[in-house]
Amino acid sequence: MTDHQYEGFVLPMPVKLERLVTAPATRLSVDVRAMAASCSLHAGQVAMGQGRVDLAREAFSEVLTLHTQDETSSFYLAQAKNFLAEIENGVQISLKTP
């Protein structure tokens, strides 16, 4: 049997339960910018873990570029700024250490 043969097939259900069941909602959209920011933050964290500060800085900076105008994504902006500050603090500490 193919998938098309099952279209419209409904399992029998007691009438008392049938009125409580609704059709599942279909989600057709996603916030692409939020997904990109989340992925960039993750990529930056992985890069930092691997000692690739240059790649981490680039990934976090991309989040700032994507979300500078968008007030609803303050979480992503705050995270990117915090990680960039950590990078800068780490660079300053390494420059001061003999």
CA atoms of 37 and 81, how far apart (whole Å) = 12
pTM: 0.61
CA distance 92 to 35: 31
Q: Give me the DSSP letters along 55-98.
A: HHHHHHHHHHHHHSS-GGGHHHHHHHHHHHHHHHHHHHHHHH--
Specify the range with the lowest mean pLDDT, choosing from 6-10, 35-39, 54-58: 6-10
pLDDT single digits (tens) 62-83: 998 887 766 656 888 899 999 9
